[in-house]
Structure 1
Amino acid sequence: MSFTITPKAERFMRMMVMADGGPGAGFRLSVSPGGCSGLAAEIAIKAEPEPGDKVFPHGAVKLFLPAESRLLLEGVTIDFAETPTSTGLVFHDPKQKSCSSHAG
């Protein structure tokens, strides 16, 4: 499985785990189709992976990914963005078309 986590996204994940988790806790990222980037995410800080999750150590963060997330994140870059309207993880998927609407 191949995906990229930017340093900003890793720092965000690490801070979330430090704030909400105990020793050994991980960052669970559950991704589903949807949203402008083609992906919508639910995040949670968990003491341990849920059944079916795989653990991906990344720097100081343990990422817990369910099966569907592992498929959807293939080739994706996970970034962190702060804008006036939103703050959170952003997914850059080279396979996904942009959000601009085209009449078909």
Structure 2
Amino acid sequence: MGAANVVVTPAAEKFMRRLLRFSEHPAGGFRLTVTPGGCSGLSSSFSLDAAPQDGDAVLDVNGLRVFLPAASAALLDGVTVDFADTPTSSGLRFHDPKQAACGCSSAGAAPPAQASVSLDSLRRISRA
């Protein structure tokens, strides 16, 4: 399946590469799954996998493979994936120019969606 129209910023690419490098599958890819939900419109999770699954879109980001399940690829169409590391939060953020601002925020703008980090597929590397 072809890749979705998704922009991955250099900060997000660096984050994905770093996690993949220390995973059990350093030659694999970064699987990003998003679903509708949350104040900003998207909820997400990721894993580090050896290969794409049937039906995945494979996004090539300067040689980094990002696996997107079909439903996720559709939801991410036109979205920019970024990474932010602030004193209060750290993670992937999704900027969708089609998403309206949330009405529940007193500032009138919804915070970007964030991905949760699971360390299950990372391995510990001991340095001598």
- Whole-Å Cα distance in 1 between the matches of residues 95 and 39 of structure 2? 10
Q: Which has the larger radius of gyration?
A: 2
Question: Is 1:66 matched with 2:69?
Answer: yes
Residue 11 (str. 1) matches residue 23 (str. 2): no
RMSD (Å) for aligned C-alpha atoms: 1.6
Paired position in structure 1 for 2:82: 79
Asked whether the 8 Å contact 2:25–2:48 carries over to 1, the reply is no
Alpha-carbon separation, structure 1, partners of 2:80 and 2:16: 14
CA distance in 1 between partners of 2:33 and 2:71 (Å): 8
Q: How does 1:42-61 map to 2 (within 5 A)?
A: 42-61=45-64
**Unaligned residue ranges in structure 1 (runs of 5+):** none
Given residue 82 of structure 1, which amino acid in structure 2 is its aligned partner?
D
Matched pairs, number: 102
Aligned identity (percent) is: 50
The structure with the largest helix share of the pair is: 1
- Normalized per residue, the structure richer in strand is 1
- For residues 23 and 13 of structure 1, do their structure 2 counterparts lie closer, same or farther at Cα, with a shift above 3 Å needed? closer
Scaled by the length of structure 2, the TM-score of the pair is: 0.73
Which 4+ runs in 1 deviate beyond 3 A?
none
- Give the one of 78, 98, 101 matched to 1:95: 98
